[in-house]
Structure 1
Amino acid sequence: MTETSSKSELKKLSEESLTRQPEEVFDIICKLGEGSYGSVYKALHKESGQVLAIKQVPVDTDLQEIIKEISIMQQCDSPYVVKYYGSYFKNTDLWIVMEYCGAGSVSDIMRLRKKTLSEDEIATILCDTLKGLEYLHRRRKIHRDIKAGNILLNTEGHAKLADFGVAGQLTDTMAKRNTVIGTPFWMAPEVIQEIGYDCVADIWSLGITALEMAEGKPPYGDIHPMRAIFMIPTKPPPSFREPDQWSPEFIDFVSQCLIKNPDERATADFLLNHEFIGNAKQPSILSTMIAEAREIRESQAFRAVHPVPGEGYEDHTMKQRTDGTLVPQRDAVVDLEADLGTMVINEPDTDLATMKRHDTDPMDTNKPKYRPLYLEHFEKKEVDHLAANGRLPNPGEESAAEAGVRTLTADGNFDFLSWLPVGELEDRMSRLDAQMEAEIDVLRQRYQRKRQPILDAIHLRHKRQQNF
């Protein structure tokens, strides 16, 4: 058969299989979760008996993006990248058939175990992840959404890159991309600044992912994403909160990833030769972690179907999935990815090499006030959340996204200052007087512009009275 090897391992779907209805070829076992664009299900390939993953995408989604995802997956043949087997159209859905990774994502495993990872576990996962990135980058492909939620583990502990819904293809005529895309806390500074970027943007995201696995959430993960978006390009590179807990090799590895200047940042090829990765253990060391997560997952599924009176989770720790199943409520650490998802903004229509510039001069009243495009993304998230809870914002009410901008320039919550080193704080202190003078000058001009028409009207009224 063309579908299977001598070991009954599915290589690809035959032409005959692709012409049949998908339910004739597969049995859907259960829903695994949500990926970019659609829901992901665990399925059984009837003929080979192999378990696969199927992403079901509504056709009202941007099919051009889905075709891009499939095209990139088709071109990849690496043990460190999730395999693609074929696709179907079924009613209003596109079914994308992919490799199944039985242990789930690294993010899922952390959530289930309520534990961060050890340094050895992180090194092993990063070793495979880097091999996947090296494979992509050598072929001029950028993943653009590296995070723990997009690193999947199979039952043997091998890590694979997944979810190419936002991956980009570099060509000779398009050396840099200028599309702001990714998940905010993991985004490289050059991506946020819209100054063009290449493959090393993935390396920054990898460094943030290393911190996420070590500490349970990415840097700035407990502040509003809009504030993080403004802070990432302007603040020093993040590092460990408690560096004494980690080896110098691990700290150096992360620092090589989190160099703000992309021209000086390490490449995947370089990092594979780093001492931290060279000391990585075999994937078998992840077996205990994977087994624990599986047991917790199975226990939760059993309790959801067979609840025991007087036992179980408190109501506030449970939530209902779309299929009606009750599952433990994610804690704030891992909810980041689920709540934020992936944002795609400033996608140029034609010339991807052209960088968009914005005139942000606040004193130029002849031009409309510039609003960062990512404000719309987060405002839509807020409106959807409020609508789901039966409350829409009042007209004129400030959104959290706008508040994020305001807190960087006016009185607000300055908790982020606790993240800054002493040198940066002292530098801010020394600059305060000049900044305040500049702000006062701007306020004085605004005040004068509003005050002058009133003075003119009073003068005109006095003049009329004198004439009368």
Structure 2
Amino acid sequence: MPPPPMMLDVDDVEDSVCMTWSIDESGTMRHRKTGTKVSTKEGITFEGMEYRLSPEDIELEADSHLGAGACGVVLKGVIKQTGIPVAVKTVKVDDKAKREQLLNEIRGLVAAEGCVNLVHWYAGFLSKRTSVVHVALEYMDLGSLAELKKRLGGYGVPPEYLSNITAQIMNGLNYLHKKKMLHRDIKPENILHNRQGEVKLTDFGIAKDLDKTIAMAGTFVGTVTYMSPERCLGNDYSFASDIWSVGMVIFELSTGRYPFADIVSFPVLFEHLCDKPEPRLDPEYFPAELVEFDAYCLTRDVSRRPAA
């Protein structure tokens, strides 16, 4: 019997006591602590479940660029066997932080499978040629709420539509929070919608698990312009930090503009978040229920901010 293929460490030696990845001669990546496996031919295995796709299963559409982010580009494709359109997200795995982000993303996508207001995935695979991971996600044909805002040309979303959008955002967020997960990067770009009227949260790459014994988080990640005051201050934070971010998004969709108009530096943002009065919708122009809802979200006192 031939010896098993040699495994090469791809993380720093000092990290071996916690989360270490390894890679064998076939290019398959394995996360030693969780048993997560990412390969070219067998797709992704997570917590004993297999999510199989290979490069040959996906046909990318020409000039189908859907977006780009810190991880890489998102392209439109089709699963050949079923004809289902997908958004193929590229996730770079060339350093430890990006590999851990991939693991978080997979964990979030698996957790999302039970909720209609979280973007679902089909599977993923490792590209041996480029050493990146491709994840096939549910395709949302109207793009993000940031694109919706652009299409409206400075006008806000009418309240009767915004109430429907908000209900779906909160349903997705409530599901994550019940799973003890923070999203940590809620913004218009990370909320997608389609022609069926569905609204879904996406991008779980920096989502954070909070188990029953660790109720707070302390890391500074996410998009700072939608960040809650407690996170801006560097304090511990929990589920209420996502609620603040929702309030920022709803304010922006209501008015057609970001709540703080003169953000030119982080100190200015800090002043708005931590010292100046919280953003408030004008009750002369918006329904009382909308004004009240957004005020609850954009409350600096964490103890008064409601749960999802």
Match of 2:88 among 54, 78, 83: 54
Instruction: Determine the structure 2 residue equivalent to 1:237.
Output: 278
Letter of the structure 1 residue corresponding to residue 164 of structure 2? T
Which residue of 2 is the match for residue 204 of structure 1? 244
Structure 2 CA distance for aligned equivalents of residues 205 and 51 of structure 1 = 30
Alignment partner, residue 74 of structure 2:
40
**Correspondence 1:74 to 2:105:** no
Higher normalized helix content (fraction of residues): 1
User: Does residue 201 of structure 2 align to residue 153 of structure 1?
Assistant: no
Aligned to 1:18: 43
Cα distance between partner residues in 1 of 2:212 and 2:145: 34
Query: After TM superposition, where is structure 1 displaced by more than 4 Å over at least 4 residues in a row?
Result: none
What corresponds to 2:31 in structure 1?
Answer: none
TM-score in terms of structure 1 length: 0.52
How far apart are the structure 1 equivalents of 2:110 and 2:265?
34
Secondary structure of the residue aligned to 1:263 is: helix
Q: Which runs of 5+ in 1 are unaligned?
A: 1-14, 269-468
Q: Within 5 Å, which residues of 2 pair with 1:284-323?
A: none
Q: Which residue of 2 aligns with 1:301?
A: none
Structure-1 residue corresponding to 2:205: 165
Whether the 8 Å CA contact 2:93–2:102 is kept in 1: the answer is no
Instruction: Give the conservation status (yes or no) of the 8 Å contact 1:88–1:96.
Output: yes
Task: Tell me which residue corresponds to 1:303.
Answer: none
Over aligned residue pairs, what C-alpha RMSD do you find? 1.9
Q: Deviations over 1:271-300 (max 9, x none)?
A: xxxxxxxxxxxxxxxxxxxxxxxxxxxxxx
Displacement of 1:113 after TM fit? 3.6
Measured in 2, the distance between the counterparts of 1:35 and 1:159 equals 20
Q: For residue 26 of structure 1, what is the amino acid of its counterpart?
A: I
Larger Rg over CA atoms = 1
Q: 1:16 to 1:182 in 2, by over 3 A?
A: closer
- Greater mean deviation of Cα atoms: 93-102 or 220-229: 220-229
- TM-score, normalising length from structure 2? 0.77
SS class of match (1:243):
coil
The one-letter amino acid paired with 1:39 is V
Q: Which residue of 1 aligns with 2:13?
A: none
> 1:260: which partner in 2?
300
Matched, 1:246 2:246: no
8 Å Cα contact 2:185-2:222 kept in structure 1: yes
> What do the CA deviations read for 1:56-111 (whole angstroms, capped 9, x no partner)?
12232521111111112112221010002211111221101111111110111221
CA shift for structure 1 position 249: 1.0
Task: Report the structure, 1 or 2, having the larger strand content.
Answer: 2
Give the counterpart of 1:101 among 131, 140, 148. 140
Residue 32 of structure 2 corresponds to: none
Match of 1:393 in 2: none
Q: What are the Cα deviations for residues 445-467 of structure 1, in whole angstroms up to 9, with x where unaligned?
A: xxxxxxxxxxxxxxxxxxxxxxx
**TM-aligned CA distance change 1:102 to 1:238, over 3 Å:** same
Question: 1:363 is matched with which residue?
Answer: none
Q: Match of 2:81, as an amino acid?
A: E
Letter in 2 for 1:108: E
Tell me by how many angstroms 1:16 deviates. Answer: 7.2
Counterpart AA for 2:112? C
Supply the distance in 2 between the matched residues of 1:137 and 1:21 (Cα, whole angstroms). 29
Count matched residues. Answer: 253
Q: CA–CA distance in 2 between the matches of 1:88 and 1:244?
A: 52
SS in 1 for 2:141: coil
CA contact (8 A) 1:69 1:165 kept: yes
Deviations for 1:126-161, whole angstroms, at most 9, x for unmatched residues?
A: 010000011011111111111111110022011000
SS class of match (2:56) = helix
Distance in structure 1 (CA, Å) of the matches to 2:222 and 2:101:
14
The question of 1:87 aligning with 2:124 is answered yes
**Structure 1 residues 227-273: Cα deviation after superposition (integer angstroms, max 9, x where no partner):** 11233012221112x431101111001111111111111111xxxxx
